A and B are shown apart, each in its own frame.
Chain A
Amino acid sequence: MEATTPFGRYMTKKRVMAAHTWKEAVKHKWLYVFLAPYLLVFATFTLAPVLMSLGLSFTYFNVLEPPRFIGIQNYLNLFLTDDIFLTAVQNTLVMALVTGPVGYILAFLFAWFINELPRFTRAFVTLVFYAPTIAGAAFLVWALFFTGDSMGYLNAWLLNAGIIREPEQWLTNPEWMMGVALLVVLWMSLGAGFLAFIAGLSTIDESLYEAGLVDGVTNRWQELWFITLPNMQGMLMFGAVMAIMASFAVGEVTQALFGFPSTDYAVHTVVNHLVDYGALRFEMGYASAIATILFLAMIYTKILVGKFISKIGQ
C-alpha cells in the first residue's frame, strides 16, 4: 500500500517509526526489567505525589469524603483571600532569593578557596564546612545563642558590651526573626553542590591554565571567569538544582526554632503553610494547590538558572 497524499505519507512514516521503536523496545526487554523495580518505586513515591497534587488541587478533599471537583477555587482562595499564604510566599521568596544565590555563591567561593589548599588541609576544611549540612538536628544549638532572656549568650554578650540596653527577643520579635532564620539556613545548607564544586575544580586539566597563562591571563579572577567556570558548567547546574531544592524547602528549621506558627507569621514559609493545611487541618485539596505552586516555582527557577549558566564565560 503506497501512500499518495501528504497525510498518508505522514501516517506511513509514523507507522514505520512506531514499528522501529517497538522493535528497539523488544530487543532491550531485559533492560526494562532492570529498570522496572526502581521505576515502580520512583513512580509511586515521587512522580505520583506530584501528579496527584496537580489533580487534587482542583478539588475539595478532606480525606474522609471523596474529593469533589471545585475548579480553580483553591487557587483563587490562595491568591485572593489567604493573607497568610501571601506572607508565606513573600517569606519563601526572601529566603530563596537570599539563601539560594548567596548560599550558592558562598559554596562556590569556599570550594574555590579550598581547592587552593594543600591536600590534607583540604579534606579537613571540607569537613568543617560540610558538617552542619549533615549534622541533622544540630541547628537546635543556635537556640542557646539566640535565647530571648538576658542569659541567652548573644544577649548577655551584647548587654555586657553595652551595645544593647535590654535583651532582644531574637526568636519571637519579627524584627529579628528573618535575619536569624537566614543565618541558620545559610549555615546548614551548603549541600551536595558544595561537594560537586570541590570535585569539579580538582578535575580541570592543569594544561588549560598553562594555555591561559600563555594567552595572557594575569590573575586568578580572570582564570576563574575564562577557564574555570566554563569548564564546570555541568557542576554549576547540579549545584543550582541542589540549591533550588534546599532554598524552596525551608520549613523544618523555622518550625523548630521559631515555633509553629511563628510570631506574626514572620518566618512562615510556603512549606510551613503546606504542612499546616495538609497535616493539621487535612484540607488536602488546598494543600495540593500550595504544593503545585511550589513545584511550578521550582521548575521555572531551574529553567531560568539554566539559561544564566549557559552564558558563563562568553
Chain B
Amino acid sequence: MDTLAKRNQLALEKFRKRKGKASRAVRKPNRSLGGDIFIWIILAIFGAFFAFPLVFNINNAFKPLDEIFIFPPNLFVINPTMNNLSDLFIIMSRSWVTFTRYIFNTVFYTAAGTIGHLFFASLGAFAISKYEFPGSKFFFGLIITTLMFNPFVLAIPSFLILAQLGWIDNPLAVIIPAFGMPLGFFLLKQFMDTIPASLVEAAKIDGANEWYIYARIVMPLVKPALLTAMVFSVQALWNNPQHLLIHTEQLKTLPLAIQQIIGSPHAPNIARQGINAAGILVMMIVPIIIFILAQSNILKTMASSGIKE
C-alpha cells in the first residue's frame, strides 16, 4: 500500500509538472495508452453505426436517379444534383395547398409554442427556485414525476381534454399544450438554483420587487438554460406531425405533408426514393443545425440537471 501510494504520488507530481509546460497533450495519471486506443476504437465503431444511416440519407438526397439505383449502393454521392430537392418542392406545390403553407404552419406552431413555453416556464421556475412558499416543493415533485410521461403516452387522454375544449383542428391544440412541457421548466429551475442567493437577497434589500428581480437579475443570467429549453421545445414541435389534432389541409404540419408524399416502408414509393431522402433531409436538418449552434450552452445547462432525491 505504501509503495503504491508513493508511486501514485510520484505520477501525480510528474503529471502536474508536465501539464504546466508541455504543449502537446499529456496523458493523465491512471490512463494507459492501451486504454486510450480501446476508447478510440469503440467510439469509431459505434460512431460509424450511429452516423451511417444519416450520412447515407444526406447523400441519397443529392444523388441523381442512376446513382440511387446503382447496386451495390455507394455511400457517397458522385455527381451531386439538386433535382430531388426541387422535385420535392414541385410535387408539394402541385397539391392544392401550397408547400409554403405547410412550412409556414410548422414554423408558426414551433415558434409560438416555444415562445410561450419559455415565458411561462421561466416565470414559474423563477418563483419556485428563488423563493420558498407553501406548495412550491410539492409542485416541483410533480414536475419531476411528469418528466417521465412522454407526449405519446399522454396523447389519448389529452385528446379527450382538447376535444372538451373544442380545440381539435385548431392551432391552439398544438400551441397551448406546448407551453406546459415539463422538461424546459425542470432545466430552467435547476439552472436558476445555481445562481447565488446573495444576488437575489441584495436586490430585495434594495427594494426591488419580484418582477424586477425576475426580468433584470435572473433572466440575463440564465441564457444558456433558456436556449436549452428552446432547443428541446423546437425539437418536440418541429418533428411532431400532430395528425391526431389537425385535420384541415391548410393547417397541417410539414412532417405530416412530407409523410403523405413519401408513403410508408410497406407501400414505398420506389420511383420517389430520392425525393423521400430529400424530404427526410429537410425535416432533420433544422433540429440538427439548432443543436450544433446551441451545443455548448446545452452542456452548460445539463451540468445542473441532476435530480436530488
Contacts and interface: CB of A to CB of B under 8 A. Distances in A.
B71 to A, nearest CB: 7
Contacts of B217: none
A38 B180 contact: yes
Contacts of B29: 213
Given A37-B124, A41-B180, A48 B8 contact: no
B47 A35 contact: no
B155 interface: yes
Interface in A171-209: 171, 187, 192, 195-196, 198-200, 202-203, 209
Interface string A126-145: 11111110111111111111
B96 interface: no
Interface string B166-186: 000000000011011011010
A6 interface: no
Contact of A199 (B8, B120, B300): B300
B4 A216 contact: yes
Interface in B45-62: 46-47, 49-51, 53-54, 56-57
A110 interface: yes
B121 interface: yes
B27 to A, nearest CB: 10
Interface size for chain B: under 10, 10 to 19, 20 to 34, or 35 or more residues? Answer: 35 or more
Interface stretch (B84-92, B97-105, B200-208, B279-287): B279-287
A83 interface: no
Nearest to B25: A118
Contacts of A249: 150, 152-153
A163 interface: no
A135 B56 CA distance: 13
Interface string A93-129: 0000000000000100110011011100001011111
A160 B25 CA distance: 45
B21 interface: no
Given A37-B124, A210-B12, A242-B147, A288 B157 contact: yes
Nearest to A240: B307
A84 interface: no
Given A35-B128, A135-B284, A153 B239 contact: no
Interface in B267-309: 268, 276-277, 280, 283-284, 287-288, 291-292, 295-296, 298-303, 305-309
B217 to A, nearest CB: 14
Contact of B307 (A25, A31, A237, A259): A237
Interface in B127-164: 127-128, 131, 133-136, 139, 142-150, 152-161, 163
A239 B206 CA distance: 40
Contacts of B39: 113, 116
Interface of B: 1, 4-5, 8-9, 11-12, 25, 28-32, 35-36, 39, 42-43, 46-47, 49-51, 53-54, 56-57, 71-73, 119-121, 123-124, 126-128, 131, 133-136, 139, 142-150, 152-161, 163, 176-177, 179-180, 182-183, 185, 209-211, 214, 232, 235, 238-239, 244, 255, 258-259, 262, 264-266, 268, 276-277, 280, 283-284, 287-288, 291-292, 295-296, 298-303, 305-309
Given A200-B305, A294-B153, 13 more contacts: A34-B210, A35-B123, A35-B128, A42-B143, A42-B185, A46-B146, A63-B163, A126-B299, A147-B265, A200-B306, A213-B9, A302-B145, A306-B309
